[in-house]
Structure 1
Amino acid sequence: MSSATLTPEQRERILRAATSAPSKHNTQPWWFRWSGDDLEVHIDPRRTLRLGDPTGREAHIACGAAAFAARLGYASLGLGTETVLLPGGGPLSVALVRVTGSAPDPRFDTLYWSLPSRRTHRAPFRETPIPSLVLENLRDAARDEGAWLRGVEQEPAYERLLTLIREATGLEDDRLREERARWVDAPDAVHRLDGVPAGSLGPRPLDPTGAVRDLAVGRDVPGRGTIAFESRPAVAVLETRGDTPLAWLTAGQALMRVLVTGTRYGVAASFANQPLENAELRAEVGSEARHYGTAQMVLRLGMGVEVPPTPRRPLSEVLGPEELA
């Protein structure tokens, strides 16, 4: 283990950045360990979804996003880093964010300051279209991390994707919804610092299009309400060349870079990953691809408005037990 030079305050800054990453149903499926000034990222198997994420694909994506966010935390301290994916030490040791001694990417400081404003946006977007230059910046952000963000804009591909999302929603069984209910507006939500509380669900869409995922579908959430959403939401698919744990982690880093780049320009995102939870439908989502081809995330994008954050656990709960001795 290398010697440590980071102060407790600096370590806290990096960890807060890392834990700001999104995760499916806000399960926060990670834990961290310091190795000198380097940060290990591990999957927490107690926080994975047996039915909703049986292969751990989305847990890997979340941990990849946390690794990229940690890089931004380091950059805000003037420290350059590199991420070693699948560094060894067991199947749940998925990333090592290592200090390199070089200067950080000059773009990272701006992205770091976008972290506190990033939200998963389950409310309507403004009808204002996303500027084409901003969309190009989002594609560049994914490409910089080894992935591809494919905008789905033209017919018939656009309606086909929305149809797949609607079809996947209809195929959900009761067991899957019961598992999700343990994390979404859970009975003990008022005492928890994870999951998605009722206040972060957003309203039900008046005219469901498929691009807006209702995490509480089939359930009555008091005070939630129904409202018209944007008439033609922008949708995009984040893709990787392969479909291995390494590819999933790559997708996570790319996802986080896309999200904070969008936040900088007032663009927010929510997720419509229902068809990716079904092997047959997932293959169809990627069938239109011309570059990479393996669909990892389906994003609804738009010009956002202020929405409440989802909770995060205290840092004492995301560190390995030896860190707290």
Structure 2
Amino acid sequence: MTTTLTPKQRETILRAATSAPSKYNTQPWWFRWDEDDLEVHIDRTRSLPHSDPTGREAHIACGAAAFSARLGYGAFDIGTTVERLPEQVDPLFAARVRVVSDAPDPRFALLHPYLPRRRTNRAPFRDTPIPPQVVDELRAAARAEETRLHIVTWEPFYERLLTLIREATGLEEDELRDERAAWVDAPGAEHRHEGIAAESLGPLPEQPTGSVRDLAVGRDIPGRDHAAFEQQPTIAVLATCTDTRYDWLAAGQALQYILVTATRRGVAASFANQPLEDSDLRFEASRFAGPSDYAHYGSAQMILRLGLCRTEVPPTARRPLTDVLGPPPM
């Protein structure tokens, strides 16, 4: 059965899609309606040639946008499915969110209201452990999208992964930092609809920690405070079986499922993906994707810092819907 979406429904679905996370909040997507289906395309004008040369994280962002759109459809009791890479002749056509006659997953309507509250939280978390039943929910969200979420707890893997994150930060090249600076607290950031403003960077740790990424490392941001962070951060690795564009999109869908589920349960998240930006270090980071029974999920796609929320953080800006509809200007 095909529905006929109203303008208000289309707006709701698009706002849901554009709420997805993306590297440096570049929002590397554009959308097109095909009757009631929503096409998700990669916007190559928002590429990051130094920090994302293969486009892996752009695919992850578009996968997250596709999942977010499904939550928007679900709010209207409309069932959907996602076709990844629907046209091989167009590698930038990431996904089609297709309306189906089946009822939507009932969890989608429950999760939709939490999309606006999902934030990348770089502030300190509580030292209280995440309840085991919530961790199980996050793992189930990953499995539902053909991925695995492994909570790294066993030593020496835990400390080695934190060390690897610190090493990756120290190995960053000037070109990568310059590229990031164009999106993070850039001149006029308070008037932009993309990127990350200074108030979203979070405070600097009083003690060195590998789990909290400083997106402005090496730069002096006026008025930025220092704070004590949680002593034992929860670190998780989201992994896929293989490492194709198809897998990257699956990782994006899983990532958003995990993040919105976490938001509903009062769990905040930020990212520590520095090792994944270097091919050699990414290979080593994939060793922490899971124990032996997860061995076939050996491609690390995201490294997450998770914890019970202690501080609410401001939202990052989003582009107007008129800017994300239709092919971008070349």
TM-score normalised according to structure 1 size = 0.97
The residue that corresponds to 2:254 in the other structure is 254
The residue that corresponds to 1:95 in the other structure is 95
Do the aligned partners of 1:195 and 1:310 also contact (CA within 8 Å) in 2?
A: yes
Post-superposition offset of 1:188: 2.2
Residues 218-233 of structure 1: matches in 2 within 5 Å?
Answer: 218-233=218-233
Q: Alignment partner of 2:40: what SS?
A: strand
The residue that corresponds to 2:272 in the other structure is 272
Q: Distance in 2 between matches of 1:260 and 1:208?
A: 29
The residue that corresponds to 1:18 in the other structure is 17
Per-residue Cα deviation, 1:55-75 (whole angstroms, up to 9, x for no partner): 000000000000000000000
The residue that corresponds to 1:56 in the other structure is 55
Q: Distance in 2 between matches of 1:24 and 1:302?
A: 20
Give the direction of change, closer, same or farther, for the CA distance of 1:321–1:44 in structure 2 (3 Å limit). Answer: closer
Residues 66-145 of structure 1: matches in 2 within 5 Å?
Answer: 66-88=65-87, 90-145=90-145
- Runs (4+) off by over 6 Å: none
Residue type of the alignment partner of 1:94:
A
Q: Distance in 1 between matches of 2:277 and 2:259?
A: 21
The residue that corresponds to 2:308 in the other structure is 303
Q: Alignment partner of 1:155: what SS?
A: coil
Q: Alignment partner of 2:186: what SS?
A: coil
Residues 3-14 of structure 1: matches in 2 within 5 Å?
Answer: 5-14=4-13
The residue that corresponds to 2:326 in the other structure is 320
The residue that corresponds to 1:147 in the other structure is 147
Greater Cα shift, 286-295 or 141-150: 286-295
Per-residue Cα deviation, 1:240-274 (whole angstroms, up to 9, x for no partner): 00100000000000000000011110001000000
Per-residue Cα deviation, 1:175-214 (whole angstroms, up to 9, x for no partner): 1100000000001212201000001000111112100000
Structure 1 unaligned regions, length at least 5: none
Q: Alignment partner of 1:107: what SS?
A: helix
Residue type of the alignment partner of 1:207:
Q
Do the aligned partners of 1:4 and 1:36 also contact (CA within 8 Å) in 2?
A: no
Residue type of the alignment partner of 1:215:
L
Do the aligned partners of 2:262 and 2:268 also contact (CA within 8 Å) in 1?
A: yes
Per-residue Cα deviation, 1:205-248 (whole angstroms, up to 9, x for no partner): 11121000000001010111111111110000000001000000
Per-residue Cα deviation, 1:130-154 (whole angstroms, up to 9, x for no partner): 0011001100000011100000012
The residue that corresponds to 2:299 in the other structure is 294
The residue that corresponds to 2:44 in the other structure is 45
Q: CA RMSD in A?
A: 1.5
Q: Distance in 1 between matches of 2:190 and 2:196?
A: 11
Structure 2 unaligned regions, length at least 5: none
Do the aligned partners of 2:2 and 2:99 also contact (CA within 8 Å) in 1?
A: no
Post-superposition offset of 1:321: 5.0
Q: Alignment partner of 1:74: what SS?
A: helix
1:191 aligns with 2:191: yes
| Percent identity between the two aligned chains | 65
Aligned residues: 322
Do the aligned partners of 1:3 and 1:36 also contact (CA within 8 Å) in 2?
A: no
Do the aligned partners of 2:40 and 2:95 also contact (CA within 8 Å) in 1?
A: yes
Q: Alignment partner of 1:300: what SS?
A: strand
Greater Cα shift, 188-197 or 56-65: 188-197
